[in-house]
Structure 1
């Protein structure tokens, strides 16, 4: 008996019926909502609660990450936009025109992440322009996190509905 054939019979390697895809989706959105502009959310909470050195550390880390994001946007923003647009368009064509399930699964992970990336760049621009301190900075970072979580909720819902549809679509007449 061929062990790889047995393995592939026992573990379905299609994207939407694979447990690892759903674990990866959960880990992706958990990680993205925890790191707000490259700053861990527990650091924001600690700075809000204790102030002092924690607040100074938070402001320094936000300043570093905001400057980094804006530098990347200025230097290679147009090239990145073209590359991401090409990749997403290619994935969308493979996924929904040629009906490639792996491309569908990848597109449903990648497209919402581009929205989060655009949101991060927008938030970084606002923070660089306004230079918020203290409560205003906490509010801006919390707002960014809530919007990211909302994008994540919608993304997980759409992915789950589409994945269930794909798993139930066994026959050609469904």
Structure 2
């Protein structure tokens, strides 16, 4: 077995039958639900439990991330949206018209992440004005639950599509 065969066996582009794809999907959703608005969710639990400086740290971290997200959306929002639509259109065509399984796998990861980005942007706009710590914790918790719901639906749809791909085209290829 030569080096190229070994590398291509390790990095198989048939994504839905590859363990690395499912590990990457799990890490993606674990990270997405942990980092709400770019703030680690354990800060919310620590602020609820200890208050004081932990609550102030949470407020400061949220303020910084909210300002960052709103600045990026105001300055580069149109260009980022145009690029995102270009990328997703290209990948959808490659994946579902030309039947490139790797592109299908990336689409099934990217589209839900765009939804997560919109959820975070909506939460950032709601948190633009200062809130008390309880309202802040409730907003971050609701945002996390919504992100987790998107993740559950995304993983379910991806698993169904992956099983369909493996059962239909796995024997052919």
Q: Within 5 Å, which residues of 2 pair with 1:57-136? A: 57-129=57-129, 131-136=130-135
Distance 1:8 1:82, change over 3 A: closer
Distance in 2 of aligned mates of 1:164 and 1:123: 34
CA contact (8 A) 2:33 2:148 kept: yes
Counterpart for residue 149 of structure 2: 150
Counting matched residue pairs gives 171
Counterpart for residue 40 of structure 1: 40
CA contact (8 A) 2:13 2:102 kept: no
Q: What is the CA distance between 1:2 and its match in structure 2?
A: 3.8
CA RMSD in angstroms, aligned pairs only: 1.7
Residue ranges of structure 1 left out of the alignment (5+ in a row): none
Structure 1 residues 123-150: Cα deviation after superposition (integer angstroms, max 9, x where no partner): 0000104x22111100000000000000
Distance in 1 of aligned mates of 2:32 and 2:116: 9
Distance in 1 of aligned mates of 2:21 and 2:86: 24
Distance in 1 of aligned mates of 2:11 and 2:122: 42
Distance 1:72 1:88, change over 3 A: same
Distance 1:68 1:7, change over 3 A: closer
Residue ranges of structure 2 left out of the alignment (5+ in a row): none
Counterpart for residue 168 of structure 1: 167
Structure 1 residues 58-107: Cα deviation after superposition (integer angstroms, max 9, x where no partner): 00000000000000000000000100011011111111111110100000
Task: Give 4+ residue runs of structure 1 displaced > 3 Å after superposition.
Answer: 1-13
TM-score norm. by structure 2 comes to: 0.93
Q: What is the CA distance between 1:12 and its match in structure 2?
A: 5.0
TM-score norm. by structure 1 comes to: 0.92
Q: What is the CA distance between 1:6 and its match in structure 2?
A: 6.2
